Amino acid sequence: MPKVTKKTLNCRGRLVSLDTPVVMGILNVTPDSFFAGSRVSPESTQPNGVLERAESMLRAGATFLDIGGYSTRPGAADVSPAEEADRVLPAIDTILRHVPNALISIDTFRASVARQAVEAGACMVNDVSGGNLDADMFSTVADLGVPYVLMHMRGTPQTMQSLSNYTNLVTEVIDELALRLNELRALGAKDIVIDPGFGFAKTISQNFELLRELTAFHYFDEPLLVGLSRKTTIWKTLNTTADKALNGTTVLNTAALLGGASILRVHDVQEAVEAIKLTQPLTFF
């Protein structure tokens, strides 16, 4: 399997190297994200506020901070674009006023929220829907000229778990991503990151299959983002809960790194950074 040769992202003029994998810390400005420990208050003066958590993640070694205002856990309630923007924009402003060089990713599938967030200072768009839930997303990203995480998902957060029927999982996920990637490239979008979409329209066994076959996604010659942190695949397999799934997360993050992941999206930054340091002498990507 050929190595991924694309190893940089241009984040608003700042070139971020992926020669060594990096960590993306999760900041959910939501009341209902699946892992309570990821939820933060947008008010910087509140305990567990967004600024406190952001600064802690950056000190621990996070390269990116991924801010989301819409819970995409299975069966999550829908919120309006206005409410989503009202959640994330103050958080972005708070962080950048205090840490101007922070690299912020906006976790949204809505083009209007993505544009507002980038105008507020975000430098990357992380779209769980791969452009399938907003017809304007691809053109918006191309116009904004920021890196874009293209994730595989079927349906919506409310319906995705009923759409996990595949004849050949890896081939179909790659084919569906390839169609969307070609559309993005045709519009002039650059700096695209591929995310196989662990947990999104995938069963537990399918998530393990994707992880076993992660090197197949080097076909795209784009950086790979893996988001497995504290997900159902881990805690249900271990018969525990999300808040006790840190060790399991580290195990699967290690497998992802050995499979060539360039970005780990996690709740627990220090442990992910340590996994990267320890796997570097073992990897060839």
What is the block-wise mean pLDDT of the chain (285 residues), using blocks of 10 residues?
A: 72 94 94 54 57 95 96 76 94 95 97 98 97 97 97 85 88 97 96 96 96 96 97 96 96 97 97 97 73
pTM of the entire predicted model: 0.92
> Is residue 226 domain-resident?
yes
CATH value at residue 230: 3.20.20.20
The residue type of 70 is Y
When divided into structural domains, the chain yields a total of 1
> Is residue 3 domain-resident?
no
> Is residue 2 domain-resident?
no
Chain centroid, CA 214 distance in Å: 16
In angstroms, the first-to-last Cα distance of the chain is 10
Instruction: Look up the domain containing 201 and give its range.
Output: 8-282
97 is catalytic: no
> Is residue 1 domain-resident?
no
Q: Are 141 and 185 in contact (CB under 8 A)?
A: no
Q: Which of 231, 236, 244, 277 is catalytic?
A: 231
Q: How far apart are CA 99 and CA 76, in angstroms?
A: 31
231 is catalytic: yes
Count of CB atoms within 10 A of residue 183's CB?
A: 16
Q: How far apart are CA 64 and CA 243, in angstroms?
A: 22
Q: What is the pLDDT of residue 7?
A: 83
Q: How far apart are CA 243 and CA 261, in angstroms?
A: 24
> Is residue 30 domain-resident?
yes
**Residue indicated by tokens 């790659």:** 174
pLDDT tens digits, one per residue of 232-256:
999 999 999 999 999 999 999 999 9
The residue type of 96 is L
Q: Which of 12, 14, 265, 277 is catalytic?
A: 265
Q: What is the pLDDT of residue 190?
A: 87
Q: How far apart are CA 91 and CA 41, in angstroms?
A: 8
